[in-house]
Amino acid sequence: MSNNTSPFESLPGAVGSPPQHYGNPLGEQKLLASGAAVVDLGHRGIVAVSGPDRLSWLDSLTSQSIKGLQPGQSSETLQLDVNGRLEYAMRVVDDGETTWLLVDAAEAEGLLAWLSKMRFMLRVELADRSADFSTIGALGTSPVEPAVPHGVPLVWRDPWAAVAQGGHQYSTVAEHPGTAWTYSETLVDAAGLAAASTLPVAGTLALDALRIAAWRPRLATEGDERTIPHELDWLRSAVHLTKGCYRGQETVAKVHNLGHPPRRLVMLHLDGSDGVLPAPGDAVMLGDDSVGSITSSALHFELGPIALAVIKRTVEHDAVLDVLSDGIRIAAAQEVIVPRDAGAEANVPRLPRLGAVRR
């Protein structure tokens, strides 16, 4: 279905495919943040895994513990290469018969091919269902009627709002902005897609702005060929540190327990006086030296121009940074997401447990 023209693209003011906005990006942000609008995510892909071994099989291949996932439960898991670098990020929901893996459309074919090579003799069946369903995003309680192919509504609820069991958060802020992130993605059939297009709408630019403000990483934007989960604080929702072996697990454990991620994610508050919004790939500068690059940027309806960037771990938290965009230097105030000392947890002194007896 995602290969066909969406009814959202025929709405008044629609710009882009899927629509980036409908003529009022800031107003659309407000609507989306209030839970009153929905977003067409026609650029998402859907891989379905069925069969009695599906959950234990996926659990053995990826970073999150999902073998006990119950019908209707949501999770998130990462597929890593042998060096622990990110290859696929999967949003996961199970309906009791099928596990649905939501990815970007460009990733669906590659993920399906890799999973097909890993089936061996297990009782699993794989299919690309991107042509059968579309994905609609929303915050708060989604007004969209979901597809229910096996009696369980296909709604993925983002686990980013809290540290998942077995996960770990590197951010040390008192109140993580992700706690207010009530995002969900709903799978709909053709009739559901048409019905969703009659609701108040927002474009993908509005969703990106709110995602950046929630410090929520996305593989398609924050990831590159070198990314490991620690750099993006993705152990928070997509990695179980004690579940057992999977490809890349050794790197995950080694960096978390003994080392430090070589880069770290930050949010930047940008000077908007020149009216220039940096683009992904623009250099983050410390004096005359490039220390990283912009991964996502947006004009937020409350915060103004903001961005996520991946920079060198060694950059001081109070460093005076600029972003170089089209020859213009834009002042950037750093908000620390992943601190410089993230990792090396095995060397962190532990306070004695309450009631413990010293020997």
Compute the Cα dihedral for 154, 113, 42, 19 and give only its sign. Answer: positive
Do 196 and 323 lie in one domain? The reply is no
Do 144 and 268 lie in one domain? The reply is no
Name 195's Cβ contacts closer than 8 Å, sequence gap at least 6: 144, 145, 188
Closest to 268 measured CA to CA, from 204, 343, 207, 324: 324
Closest to 48 measured CA to CA, from 12, 95, 2, 13: 95
Q: For residue 216, list its beta bridge partners.
A: none
Domain assignment of residue 308, given as a range: 262-342
Structure tokens at 274: 């020149």
Of the two residues 253 and 119, the one the predictor is more confident about is: 253
Is residue 267 within 8 A of residue 307, CB to CB? The reply is yes
Residue-averaged pLDDT of the chain: 95
Do 74 and 198 lie in one domain? The reply is yes
The answer to whether position 121 is within a domain reads yes
Cα diameter, the chain:
73
What's the rounded Cα separation, in Å, for the pair 106 and 112?
11
Comparing 113-122, 163-172, 213-222, 330-339, the range with the smallest average pLDDT is 113-122
Neighbours of 328 (CB within 10 A): 13
Q: Map 126-143 to HEC letters.
A: EEECCCCCEEEEEECCCC
Do 106 and 188 lie in one domain? The reply is yes
Q: For residue 155, list its beta bridge partners.
A: 186
Is residue 21 within 8 A of residue 8, CB to CB? The reply is no
Q: What is the pLDDT of residues 268-319, one digit of tens each?
A: 999 999 999 999 999 999 999 999 999 999 999 999 999 999 999 999 999 9
Q: What is the pLDDT of residues 223-251, one digit of tens each?
A: 999 999 999 999 999 999 999 899 999 99
Report how far apart, in Å, the C-alpha atoms of 161 and of each of 43, 136, 266 are: 24, 19, 18
Residue holding tokens 């220039």?
Answer: 276
Q: How is residue 71 annotated by DSSP?
A: T
The answer to whether position 1 is within a domain reads no
Instruction: List alpha helices for 150-282, DSSP H.
Output: 190-196, 204-213, 219-222, 235-238, 249-257
- Decide if pLDDT at 3 tops 80: no
The answer to whether position 349 is within a domain reads no
Do 197 and 55 lie in one domain? The reply is yes
Which residues of 59-217 form beta strands (DSSP E)? 74-80, 86-94, 98-104, 125-128, 134-139, 155-157, 183-188, 201-202
| Listed residues 223, 238, 253: the one ending a domain | 238
- Tell me the whole-structure pTM to 2 decimals: 0.94
Is residue 311 within 8 A of residue 284, CB to CB? The reply is yes
Region 70-81: what's the mean pLDDT? 98
The sheet carrying 201-202 orders its strands as: 155-157, 183-188, 134-139, 38-40, 201-202
| Listed residues 238, 253, 273: the one ending a domain | 238
Report how far apart, in Å, the C-alpha atoms of 151 and of each of 51, 147, 278 are: 16, 9, 45
Q: What CATH code is carried by the domain that includes residue 233? A: 3.30.1360.120
The answer to whether position 245 is within a domain reads no
The answer to whether position 20 is within a domain reads yes
Q: What is the pLDDT of residues 12-24, one digit of tens each?
A: 999 999 999 999 9
Region 41-67: what's the mean pLDDT? 97
Do 273 and 215 lie in one domain? The reply is no
Closest to 331 measured CA to CA, from 292, 278, 265, 289: 278
Residue 348 confidence (pLDDT): 60
Do 228 and 280 lie in one domain? The reply is no
Region 174-181: what's the mean pLDDT? 96
Length of the chain: 359
Do 80 and 142 lie in one domain? The reply is yes
Is residue 323 within 8 A of residue 285, CB to CB? The reply is yes
Is residue 60 within 8 A of residue 246, CB to CB? The reply is yes
Q: What is the pLDDT of residues 273-283, one digit of tens each?
A: 999 999 999 99
| Listed residues 187, 204, 238: the one ending a domain | 238
Do 225 and 273 lie in one domain? The reply is no
Q: What is the pLDDT of residues 110-123, one digit of tens each?
A: 999 999 999 887 89
Helix (H, G, I), strand (E, B) or coil at 293: strand
What's the rounded Cα separation, in Å, for the pair 178 and 49?
29
Do 158 and 299 lie in one domain? The reply is no
- Decide if pLDDT at 354 tops 50: no
Number of domains in the chain: 2
The answer to whether position 350 is within a domain reads no
Do 142 and 17 lie in one domain? The reply is yes
Residue 349 confidence (pLDDT): 58
Do 87 and 220 lie in one domain? The reply is yes
The answer to whether position 352 is within a domain reads no
Q: What CATH code is carried by the domain that includes residue 290? A: 2.40.30.110
The answer to whether position 146 is within a domain reads yes
